[in-house]
Amino acid sequence: MTTAREIHLTRYPEGKPTLDIFETVERDLPAPKEGEVLAETLYLSVDPYMRGRMRPDVKSYIPPFALDEPLDGGAVGRVLESKVDGFAPGDLVVAQGGLGWRSHGVVPAGALRKIDPSLAPPSAFLGVLGMPGLTAWAGLTQLIRPKAGETLYVSGAAGAVGSLVCQLGKQKGLRVIGSAGTKEKRDWLVREARCDAAVGYKEHDAASLTTALRDLAPKGIDGYFENVGGMQLEAVLNCINDRGRIALCGLISQYNATEAPAGPSNFANLLTRQVLMEGFIVTRFMDRTEEFLSEVAPLVAAGRVKHEETVYEGLDRAPAAFVGLFEGTNTGKMVVKVAE
């Protein structure tokens, strides 16, 4: 009999999530049945999209989390017991569900993928080689489709997704400008991620950011990878070139909003400049995982792509890690280390 420690949601947050809506619960797990494995969690992922699952009343692309049940998400684990062909005790796996926010889980085969630890450390499969990596690759290569010499602006550029977008953009010969909330992150973007420029947003409104972007992107902006929303989108719409492309990946600035924020007031620029804007969810590109890995894994293995991590230690710190996402306490991928 294995006892799992799980983080449950005790009520839905209003506005920014706080630590007191989470609790840790112990639960005895059943033995795995045919087609399942029992695994222990090594690292779990906390991601901004999870905030969207903490709204019981909003129809979204995935169902809301249930109260008094374990939260869920991506996790890397080690197989302890297997009733699935091809998975043996000791194998390292990434689980899309069934292992997140808990110390142990019984996971169905369909949610499992074996990982190759020779490519990168295990936690990288939650970040640069996991869903955030696929998100970055798909938004840039499938939606923005940049041409060498174009200018790319990335909001939330020091995050798990944004930092890979910036680096893939540089690999493709783009001028890349990233935004981040602290000087430390902006220094990292220029020094490590090789961005041509980095810009803050906390000290700007839409008008002053517009002025700043006109300096940093003298030929205008061709592609915008949007992780944040709000006034950054408005500033970009002032600077975007004809036939510009916007990949709408995240709007973290408004995930905690209690009232619907107004859209950009210069919305009409989408029309006059013939801009293409497309929202996307990474699950749409799951069938491109091999193509993504074949492009990005060698860059990671060769050290040509930097992938920062912010690691919170211990399952009990998962709520703090999650809350930290909305305070920008992470550079790169936010993960929680649950076991060695």
| Candidates 27-35, 107-115, 277-285, 314-322; binding stretch for a second copy (CB under 8 A) | 277-285
CB 75, CB 282: distance < 8 Å: no
Nearer Cβ to a second copy (223/264): 264
Residue among 278, 301, 314, 339 that touches a second copy (CB under 8 A): 278
Nearer Cβ to a second copy (32/250): 250
Nearer Cβ to a second copy (193/221): 221
12: left (phi over 0), alpha (psi -120 to 50) or beta: beta
Q: Which residues inside 80-139 make contact with a second copy, applying CB under 8 A?
A: none
Nearer Cβ to a second copy (27/284): 284
Q: How far is the CB of 58 from a second copy (least distance, A)?
A: 8
299: Cα separation from own chain's centroid: 19
Q: Which residues inside 237-276 make contact with a second copy, applying CB under 8 A?
A: 242, 248-251, 254, 260-268, 270-276
> Phi/psi at 264 (nearest 5 deg)?
-65, 135
279 binds a second copy (CB under 8 A): yes
Residue among 229, 305, 312, 334 that touches a second copy (CB under 8 A): 229
Nearer Cβ to a second copy (173/263): 263
Tell me, what amino acid is at 69? E
CB 51, CB 64: distance < 8 Å: no
Spatial CB neighbours of 291, under 8 Å, sequence gap ≥ 6:
none
Q: How far is the CB of 332 from a second copy (least distance, A)?
A: 22
* Separation between Cα atoms, residue 35 and residue 107, nearest integer Å: 9
Question: Which helix (H) or strand (E) covers residue 79, if one does?
Answer: strand 75-82
Q: How far is the CB of 276 from a second copy (least distance, A)?
A: 4
Q: How far is the CB of 165 from a second copy (least distance, A)?
A: 16
**Locus of tokens 């990292």:** 188
**Locus of tokens 């109260």:** 67
Nearer Cβ to a second copy (45/227): 227
Q: How far is the CB of 138 from a second copy (least distance, A)?
A: 12
Nearer Cβ to a second copy (31/257): 257
Q: How far is the CB of 177 from a second copy (least distance, A)?
A: 21
| Nearest CA-CA partner of 74 in 335, 340, 339 | 335
| Candidates 64-72, 108-116, 194-202, 278-286; binding stretch for a second copy (CB under 8 A) | 278-286
Residue among 10, 18, 60, 208 that touches a second copy (CB under 8 A): 60
Nearer Cβ to a second copy (87/137): 137
Q: Kindly determine how many residues on this chain lie close enough to bind a second copy according to the rule CB under 8 A.
A: 32
Q: What is the largest CA-CA distance in the chain?
A: 64
The per-residue DSSP string of 124-172 comes to GGGTTTSHHHHHHHHIIIIII---TT-EEEETTTTBHHHHHHHHHHHHT
CB 194, CB 167: distance < 8 Å: yes
Q: Which residues inside 24-53 make contact with a second copy, applying CB under 8 A?
A: 52
205 binds a second copy (CB under 8 A): no
- Give the Å distances, CA to CA, from 104 to 58, 112, 116, 150, 299: 30, 14, 21, 46, 32
Residues that bind a second copy (CB under 8 A): 52, 60-61, 229, 242, 248-251, 254, 260-268, 270-281, 284
